[in-house]
Each structure stands twice: as C-alpha cells, then as structure tokens.
C-alpha cells in the first residue's frame, strides 16, 4: 500500500481522499529539515505547500519517493532538477488558488490606496484621525501587471472592472491574448514609467529575481504603489525600503518576503507598508480546491500511473494509463535492446508509432524508450530524467505517428542513429498486452523478450545453427526459445536465443569466433 506524508497544513479533505484511494497517510507539519530527512525514506509521496523545503539533501534520502505534490502553484521550494534526476514526479495544482490570490492582490491594492490597515489600527485605538488619512482613487489609474498568466490576468480583469487601465509586461503574452483580456501589452520600461500601481505575478526564476531593484524602481512614476503577492525574491527589499523612505514610492503591500517565515524584515514597521504572512492562497475555497486536487493527482499517479499537472513529466490521463501500460513495457524493451546493441555515441532517436498506439498520448512512451536506451550507458536514468539527459547530451529525439496500420495493428519502431550507423527495431503487442519484437535491423523476426538473451547477426549459411547449439550445450546453457530471421536466403540473418541463465563473456567470445557470426552480444532485461 503506497504511503504519503503531508508535511504542510492542508485541508483535511486531502487525508480523506488518500484514505478513500487506499493510500496510507501521515500528517506531520512543522518538521525541521533533519526531522524530514529522518522519515522521508518511508514514503512514496510527499504533499506540501510552501513551507516544506524539498531540497537536494532531502531528495537524496527519499529512497522510495515517487511523487511530490504541491497543493498550490509555486514550486520554488522544491529542487525540481534534483527531483527529476531521481525520477520523482513533481506536480502542482496550477489553477486551484488563482482566483483567491488575485483577490488578495486586489484587496491589497485597495487597502494601500485607502490606508485601511493604519486607519483601522488608529480607529481601534480611539484616535478618530479623520484628517490623517487621505487616499487615492483607483478609477482611471493605470495598473501595471508584471506577469500576466493565470493570476495576473484575473487581476487585470478585476482591475478593468474597477475602471482602471491595465498595462501588462509578460514576454509570453500573445498580442491576441492581450487583446482578449483588454490589456495593453508593453515592455517593462514603459510599464514602470506609466503605472500608478504595479502588481507582480511572475514565478520566481533567474529572469524575474530582483526584477524590482534600485534601477527599475528609479524608473517608476513618482508616487507609484507596489503590490507583491507572488514571491519575495522578485523585489530587492532594501531597495524598496530606500525608495519608500525617499518618498519616490508611495507605498507597498507585500504578501511575500525574500526570507519566509518572515519574523524580521527591514520593511516591517514602516508606515506605508502593508504586510500579510503569505496569505494569498488562504481562503477556505482555495484550500479545499488545492488539497482535493493534489490528493487526487497524487493518488492517481501512485495507484494507476496517471500523471496530471506534472512539471517534469508528460501527462498521462487516467483513461490512458491502463492502455499505455503494456506499451510502456514494449517501449522500454525496445529502448533497452537498442541501447545494448549500440556501441558508439548516440546522435538521434526517432520513435515511430503506427496503428492503434498512434491514437494514444505517446510522449510517455518516448520517455520510456529513452530510459531503456540510456540505462545501459549510465546509472540512475528513469523516465522522468531520460528526456532531460538526452537533451543535455544533444541526442535529437523525434516522434512520428501514423494511424493506419501496416502489417501489424499496432507497432512501435525505434530508429537509433550513431555516428557509424542507423539501427531499427520494432515491436508490437500480441493479444493486446504481450510485447513482441517483430523486426531487428530490417530483419523480420518474432520473439518475446526474456531476462537473458543472446543476439547474433550472422551470414545465412548452412551449419551455423548446429554449431551454435553445440557451443551453448557444451557450456551447460539451456536454450528456452530460439528465433531466426533473415532478409533473404543467403543474406544477413539474425538469431535471437532466450537462455535460462546469464551468459559469461568467455562463452560469448567463443560464439563470436564461430564461422558466419558477424556479431554476438549477450543481452539482459
């Protein structure tokens, strides 16, 4: 039974869902890094929000971990490349809290415009300082949205409803989408120059880190107000502090901080700064949404192999997962076979899908082919990191699909090119779920892949099979099955022998020395 750890505070719905899906679940929040490291080895899944830091060190001891589920959006607290390298799928819930977070940004903007927190504190203190608080209207003002994705575009929509003008800086925002949203797409400089309010909605990446710094703040309009409900690292906090102190920036509303939990911060205690403790996603509705979604997604993956909203793996729908399973096995066998008979550097891999398989989502199958292919060449390769490794090694990977069937109703063909040559292998499913090899290096053959095999390429000459049988027999090796194929009489032939035990190097060497043998290789699966 798979086991999941919930290490941040999640709605109890998550626990219910895991249990309903037959998954054991522990809830342990507030763990220190060492405490997490001490127990993580016992879990297949880890469900988190923003507090748990899933570092390389944590992942290194997470020996059974298969999935990290982020009940929320930002995954900057997860070392995704390290998770990928270890074959751990990282998934988030990309929409569950977006409305809630956008509403928080709007609430922060209004609070900032009318000084509501200060006025509230003053009134509670019995001061009735009616003349102290003089706000600004939002109507007709320009809101600059940096990062116009899910949350940024909801903020833009709400701001348009408040009759603001919205300008957006987002390199990935298409002009058509900008038009649909009713926002004006501009460059960062123009946004800085024109905006009365600036709101940040990008992820924290190397490009966005410190996007508001001394220089960019200096280019903003005097009296600008800044709202950050995305990530603390987007703003250089001391630069913001200086800009507020100088009077250039009229105020800031911050939900997120460079260091969290933020118990101390240079911006704390400043009059024109409003702070909330990373509450962007904290509504009953959003927390129900993300807890439910993350638990469903993690359970689907752990129970059936379905992958939704993963950041480091292609999606596999719950409907596709059982249909893909036998193909996964076939794809891995083809990849592994190709990897074991390939001796020089890989240049390109093409995976062709023909017939029924072409109707499925084939990206996970290509990932498995790559895993099989690279596994004989390196350690710790898995279907999550195989596409990344292939890219790093500049192996060109492509897929083709043809829905009409050829000789077989369904077929996967793997074409592997090295500097020296191109090799082709193909396989099908017999009876809908039994993988069979049907073509090796252009030679038709029909063979099941078994744990120990001998692959031979030979000239098609009489007497060869007898000599091979004798060599194996003399070495005490039992032949389970024997498959032969050839292009035409007297031309290239292939023998694929399934044996009951691993073959020693000496024996393979002796077989290689037999007349007519061009190539002999022991394969293991």
Ligand X SMILES: O=C(O)C(=O)COP(=O)(O)O
Ligand Y SMILES: NC(=O)C1=CN([C@@H]2O[C@H](COP(=O)(O)OP(=O)(O)OC[C@H]3O[C@@H](n4cnc5c(N)ncnc54)[C@H](O)[C@@H]3O)[C@@H](O)[C@H]2O)C=CC1
Among 92, 96, 143, 169, binds ligand Y (CB under 6 A): 169
Distance CA 400, CA 413 (A): 10
Instruction: Copy the structure tokens of residue 80.
Output: 């995704």
Residue among 86 and 278 whose Cβ is closer to ligand Y? 278
Tell me, residue by residue from 46 to 65, as one string, x for binding to ligand X by CB under 6 A and - for no binding.
---xx---------------
DSSP string covering 182-194: T-EE--HHHHHHH
Q: Is 310 in the site for ligand X (CB under 6 A)?
A: no
Residue listed under structure tokens 């997604």: 297
Please state, in angstroms and rounded to a whole number, the distance separating the CA atoms of residues 282 and 289: 11
DSSP string, 102-159: HHHHHHHHHHHHHTHHHHHHHHHTT---TTT------TTPEEEEE--SHHHHHHHHHH
Q: Which residues contact 327 (CB under 8 A, 6 or more apart)?
A: 357, 360, 365, 412, 429
Choosing among ligand Y, ligand X, none, which partner's interface includes residue 152 (Cβ < 5 to 8 Å by kind)? ligand Y
Q: Which does 49 bind (CB under 5 to 8 A by kind): ligand X, ligand Y, none?
A: ligand X
CB neighbour list of residue 261: distance below 8 Å, 6 or more residues apart: 51, 277
Q: State the angle between helix axes of 284-304 and 98-114 in degrees (0 to 180), rounded to the nearest 10.
A: 150
Residue 24's φ and ψ, nearest 5 degrees, are: -75, 140
Stretch that binds ligand Y, among 69-77, 315-323, 374-382, 437-445 (CB under 6 A): 69-77
**Least Å from the CB of residue 190 to ligand X:** 28
* Nearest distance from C-beta of residue 231 to ligand X, angstroms: 7
Q: Which does 387 bind (CB under 5 to 8 A by kind): ligand Y, ligand X, none?
A: none
Provide the annotated active-site residues: 231, 260, 278
- Give Cα separations from 367 to 69, 88, 310, 370 (angstroms): 21, 14, 14, 5
Q: Which does 255 bind (CB under 5 to 8 A by kind): ligand X, ligand Y, none?
A: ligand Y
CA–CA distance, 6 with 49 (Å, rounded to integer): 9
Among positions 44, 170, 237, 239, the unique one binding ligand Y when judged by CB under 6 A: 170
Yes or no: say if 85 and 91 are a contact pair by the CB < 8 Å rule: no
Binding mask 263-302 for ligand X (x = CB under 6 A): ---------------x-xxx--------------------
Residue 98 partner contact from ligand Y, ligand X, none using kind-dependent CB cut-offs of 5 to 8 Å: ligand Y
Residue 313 C-beta: closest distance to ligand X, Å: 20
Q: Which residue number places its CB atom closest to ligand Y? A: 149
- Give the SS3 label for residue 492: strand
Residues 278-307 that bind ligand Y (CB under 6 A): 278, 280-281
Count of residues that bind ligand Y according to CB under 6 A: 32
Q: Is the peptide bond before 261 cis (omega within 30 degrees of 0)?
A: yes
The contact pattern for ligand Y, residues 88-107, with x = CB under 6 A and - = no contact, is ------x--xx--x------
SS (H, E, C) 200-258: ECCCCCCCCCCCECHHHHHCCCCCEEEEECCCHHHECHHHHHHHHHCCCEEEEEECCCC
Q: Which partner, ligand Y, ligand X, none, binds residue 417 by CB below 5 to 8 Å per kind?
A: none
Q: For residues 156 and 183, is the Cβ–Cβ distance under 8 A?
A: yes
Nearest position to ligand X, beta carbon: 72
Contact between 443 and 424 under an 8 Å Cβ cutoff? The reply is no
| Residue 73 binds ligand X (CB under 6 A) | yes
Q: Closer CB to ligand X, residue 258 or residue 484?
A: 258
Q: Which residues 475-494 are close enough to bind ligand Y by CB under 6 A? A: none
Scan residues 144-163 and list those touching ligand Y (CB under 6 A). Answer: 146-152
Q: Which of 11, 52, 84, 97 binds ligand X (CB under 6 A)?
A: 97
Question: Residue 153 CB, nearest distance to ligand Y (Å)?
Answer: 8
Rule CB under 6 A: which residues touch ligand Y?
Answer: 72-74, 94, 97-98, 101, 146-152, 169-172, 201-203, 205, 207-208, 229-231, 255-256, 278, 280-281
The residues of the shown chain that bind ligand X, judged by CB under 6 A, are: 49-50, 72-74, 97, 278, 280-282
């Amino acid at each position: 039974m798979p086991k999941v750890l919930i290490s941040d505070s999640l709605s109890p719905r998550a626990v219910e869902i895991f249990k309903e899906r037959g998954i054991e679940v522990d809830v342990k929040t507030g763990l220190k890094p060492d405490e997490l490291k001490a127990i993580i080895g016992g879990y297949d899944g880890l469900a988190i929000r923003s507090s748990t830091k899933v570092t390389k060190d944590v992942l290194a001891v997470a020996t059974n971990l298969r999935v990290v589920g982020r009940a929320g959006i930002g995954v900057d607290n997860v070392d995704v490349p390290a998770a990928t390298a270890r074959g751990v799928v990282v998934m988030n819930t990309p929409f569950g809290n977006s409305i809630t977070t956008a509403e928080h940004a709007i609430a922060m903007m209004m609070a900032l415009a009318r000084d509501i927190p200060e006025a509230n504190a003053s009134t509670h203190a019995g001061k009735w300082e009616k003349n102290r608080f003089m706000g600004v209207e939002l109507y007709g003002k320009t809101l600059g949205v940096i990062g116009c994705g899910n949350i940024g575009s909801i903020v833009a929509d709400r701001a348009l409803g408040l009759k603001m003008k919205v300008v957006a800086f987002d390199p990935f925002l298409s002009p058509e989408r900008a038009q649909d949203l009713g926002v004006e797409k501009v460059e960062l400089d123009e946004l800085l120059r024109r905006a009365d309010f600036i709101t940040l909605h990008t992820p924290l990446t190397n490009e966005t880190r410190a996007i508001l710094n001394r220089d960019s703040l200096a280019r903003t309009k005097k009296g600008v107000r800044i709202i950050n409900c995305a990530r603390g690292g987007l703003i250089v906090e001391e630069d913001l502090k200086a800009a507020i102190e100088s009077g250039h920036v009229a105020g800031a509303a911050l939900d997120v901080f460079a260091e969290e939990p933020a118990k101390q911060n240079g911006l704390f205690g400043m009059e024109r700064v409003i702070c909330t403790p990373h509450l962007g996603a904290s509504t009953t509705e959003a927390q129900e949404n993300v807890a439910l979604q993350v638990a469903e997604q993690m359970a689907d993956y752990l129970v059936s192999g379905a992958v939704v909203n993963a950041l480091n793996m292609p999606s596999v729908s719950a409907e596709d997962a059982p249909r893909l399973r036998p193909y996964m096995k076939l794809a891995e066998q083809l990849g592994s076979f190709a990897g074991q008979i390939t001796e020089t550097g890989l240049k390109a891999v093409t995976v062709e899908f023909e017939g029924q398989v072409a109707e499925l989502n084939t990206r996970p199958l290509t990932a498995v082919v790559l895993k099989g292919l690279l596994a004989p060449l390196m350690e710790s390769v898995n279907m999550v990191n195989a596409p990344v490794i292939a890219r790093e090694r500049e192996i060109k990977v492509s897929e083709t699909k043809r829905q009409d069937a050829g000789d077989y109703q369904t077929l996967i063909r793997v074409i592997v090119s090295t500097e020296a040559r191109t090799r082709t292998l193909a396989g099908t499913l017999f009876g809908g779920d039994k993988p069979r090899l049907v073509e090796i290096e252009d030679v038709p053959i029909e063979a099941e892949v078994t744990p120990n095999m001998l692959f031979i390429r030979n000239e098609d000459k009489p007497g060869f099979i007898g000599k091979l049988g004798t060599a194996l027999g003399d070495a005490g090796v039992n032949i389970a099955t024997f498959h032969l194929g050839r292009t035409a009489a007297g031309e290239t032939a292939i023998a694929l022998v399934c044996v009951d035990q691993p073959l020693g190097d000496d024996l393979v060497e002796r077989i290689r020395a037999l007349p007519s043998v061009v190539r002999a290789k022991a394969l293991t699966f």
